[in-house]
Amino acid sequence: MAILVTGGAGFIGSHTVVELLNAGHEVVVLDNLCNSNPKSLERVKEITGKEVKFYEGDILDRDILQKIFRENDIESTIHFAGLKAVGESVHKPIEYYENNIAGTVTLVDEMRKAGIKNIIFSSSATVYGDPAEIPITENCPKGVCTNPYGWTKWMIEQILTDLQKADPEWNVVLLRYFNPIGAHPTGKMGENPNGIPNNLMPYITQVAIGKLEKLSIFGNDYDTPDGTCVRDYIHVMDLASGHVAALKKLAPGSGLSIYNLGTGIGYSVLDIVHNFEKANDMKLNYVMAPRRAGDVPQCYSDASKAERELGWKAKYGIFEMCRDSWNWQKSNPNGYED
Ligand code: NAD
Ligand code: UDP
């Protein structure tokens, strides 16, 4: 029996494939490489010594999905494939709704035709909008998203919830990630953004390596301890092991399960800058800049449900997140292009 990992060549997917292989699972990856490099899967092999069966193709392509389900004994799908650039989604909403929503509908339709009714979906804390409570539990109502990317996560959660309600044979796990950073501790795998990064940590590492001149900190007048926004950063290896733990909620009769994957600790943008400087013994060039549209002041999880029900808890702290992000960047200045 194997696990289909859609988007398995990407940042979180590739780290999860490592943890799945280390846990003894057989893995099949489907990825159209629109935002990744197949070298990530070569690195998976270097790290684990194990093979991954790779199909280059699209979740919107029914033929390739049928071929995968015919050629492999798939028991469950971990579904990472999706477009994720918040700013781009504002300018290309149709592309985002088609790729993420129509893609997921196509995937689950072909899964059910093949009799496979177990899925773990990559959702996001963005579905909480400006959260009604802090720390955020899974009972916190979903909020109003500020961009089409967020709405795709919000709607796919709803689609999978409705599907499970209509057909209780489905087992669905919605994992709401907080802010994934870090990289594989070997420095062989990490985040490989196209162009100028939007997210904080890849921006910081590119300033550190001299590709970008300085970090702009978006807003220092929020109602937070130091005025900069607070987020729940989580090491990508912890996120990866969270998926392995979540597989147990795909046992027959599990139904629908929702978990936050975070550490439960909030760090401000300035905390991240200072921890990065300390962990890597360097100074970062940064300036204060106006607020960025759509940012909420604070977003961090109550991560206790995953600990209680999955026996999963984040192991890595902010030091390791900063150390491993930099280790990846300095060992691979051009990502997988080197
Ligand atoms: P990523 O872009 O590195 O990985 C996504 C992968 O999906 C890429 O390899 C891409 O080529 C592939 N893909 C995209 N559309 C596809 C399609 N139609 N068919 C086949 N493959 C396709 O992103 P990531 O950071 O690893 O994120 C993985 C998932 O987690 C995404 O769904 C993302 O929205 C979600 N997520 C990410 C974050 C984050 O901050 N990184 C936070 C919350 C949720
Ligand atoms: N941020 C920043 N400068 C940057 C990128 C991000 O100050 O160049 C801030 C951003 O305003 C937010 C935090 O860092 O408060 C995390 O942003 P990111 O885009 O990484 O994740 P988000 O929480 O928005 O998903």
CA of 66 to the centre of ligand 1 (A): 22
- Write a three-state SS string for the chain: CEEEEECCCCHHHHHHHHHHHHCCCEEEEEECCCCCCCHHHHHHHHHHCCCCEEEECCCCCHHHHHHHHHHCCEEEEEECCCCCCHHHHHHCHHHHHHHHHHHHHHHHHHHHHCCCCEEEEEEEHHHHCCCCCCCECCCCCCCCCCCHHHHHHHHHHHHHHHHHHHCCCCEEEEEEECEEECCCCCCCCCCCCCCCCCCHHHHHHHHHCCCCCCEEEECCCCCCCCCCCEECEEEHHHHHHHHHHHHHHHCCCCCEEEEEECCCCCEEHHHHHHHHHHHHCCCCCEEEECCCCCCCCEECECCHHHHHHHCCCCCCCHHHHHHHHHHHHHHCCCHHHC
Position 216 confidence tier, pLDDT thresholds 50, 70, 90: very high
Indicate whether residue 103 lines ligand 1 (CB < 6 A).
yes
Average pLDDT of span 155-177: 98
Nearest-atom number in ligand 1 for the CA of 14 is 26
Closest by CA to 289, choosing from 215, 229, 226, 225, is 215
Average pLDDT of span 33-42: 97
pLDDT at 284: 98
Protein residue with least CA distance to atom 3, ligand 1: 10
Indicate whether residue 104 lines ligand 1 (CB < 6 A).
no
With b for 16 or more beta-carbon neighbours within 10 A and e for fewer, the 275-297 pattern comes to bbbebbeeebebeeeeeeeeebb
Looking from the CA of 148 toward its CB, the CA atoms found within 13 Å total: 18
User: Considering every ligand atom, which ligand is closest to the CA of 177?
Assistant: 1
User: Considering every ligand atom, which ligand is closest to the CA of 218?
Assistant: 2
Q: Which residues are designated catalytic? A: 149
pLDDT digits (tens, 9 = 90+) for 248-291: 999 999 999 999 999 999 999 999 999 999 999 999 999 999 99
CA of 102 to the centre of ligand 2 (A): 28
Percent of the chain with pLDDT over 90: 97
Protein residue with least CA distance to atom 15, ligand 1: 82
pLDDT at 60: 98
Task: Kindly list the protein residues whose Cβ atom lies closer than 6 A to any atom of ligand 2.
Answer: 179, 198-200, 203, 215-218, 229, 231, 269, 292, 295
Q: Rounded to an integer, what distance in angstroms lies between the CA atom of residue 183 and that of residue 188?
A: 8
Nearest-atom number in ligand 2 for the CA of 181 is 20
Protein residue with least CA distance to atom 1, ligand 2: 200
Indicate whether residue 159 lines ligand 1 (CB < 6 A).
no
User: Considering every ligand atom, which ligand is closest to the CA of 85?
Assistant: 1
pLDDT at 193: 87
Position 337 confidence tier, pLDDT thresholds 50, 70, 90: confident
